[in-house]
Amino acid sequence: MSEKMDRRKKYTRRVLKESLIHLLNEKPIADITVKEICARADINRSTFYTHYSDQYDLLGRIEEEITADMNTYLSQYDHELEEESIQMTEKILTYVLENKLLFQTLLKGEAAPSFEKRMMNLTRGFMLDNLTSDKVISKQESEYVSTFVISGVIHVIKDWIQNDMDQPPEEMAVMVNHFILHGLSHFD
């Protein structure tokens, strides 16, 4: 019985998330109601409220899941080794590819304004550790450099999605890491 309940809960959460993502493609989170999410998911509102407090809570949980996945990928690799950095970037880009609609939707600023900032903060932590551990640049400089680099990478990913992911993740990973390494090389 418990396994059946878990499957039902997973199904319910999945369809609610999918419904919100589809609605976010049409309009910003501020214009979406719980009633619309439930109608699209074919779930009643009391079931929605069993899992989430409102549409913002649902969006926050989606963002938390992505952040946890990205954190896992970033933690698995040594960023100082170029080959591992490329592997990590490829893994992240493959994840983006596998979740194209999700990222396409969440990286539209008006749909979910907090998502891009959340991604920036997550990756900045890893980048700052690497930049300041080498003592090549000051902490303040490393914060500006990380903002510059991460913003660039996010916009490259946005363009890649907009171009219907016309390059494979492997090629994009090499290109992105090339940009990063050459962009930071003047600090060496």
Judge contact between 100 and 25, C-beta under 8 A: no
Q: Which of 70-74, 119-123, 124-128, 171-175 has the highest mean pLDDT?
A: 171-175
Q: Is residue 188 domain-resident?
A: no
For residues 180, 182, 186, 188, the Cα torsion angle rounded to the nearest 10 degrees is 80
Structural domain boundaries, residue 113: 3-182
Condensed to tens digits (0 to 9), the pLDDT of residues 44-101 reads 999 999 999 999 999 999 999 999 999 888 888 776 666 777 888 899 999 999 999 9
Overall number of domains in the chain: 1
Determine the Cα–Cα distance for residues 124 and 5; give it in Å rounded to an integer: 39
Condensed to tens digits (0 to 9), the pLDDT of residues 100-119 reads 999 999 998 777 778 888 88
Q: Is residue 21 domain-resident?
A: yes
- For 117-137, letters b (16+ CB in 10 Å) and e give ebbbebbbebbeebbbeeeee
CATH of the domain at 175: 1.10.357.10
Q: Is residue 187 domain-resident?
A: no
Q: Is residue 103 domain-resident?
A: yes
Report, in angstroms and rounded to the nearest whole number, the Rg of the chain calculated over CA atoms. 19
Q: Is residue 64 domain-resident?
A: yes
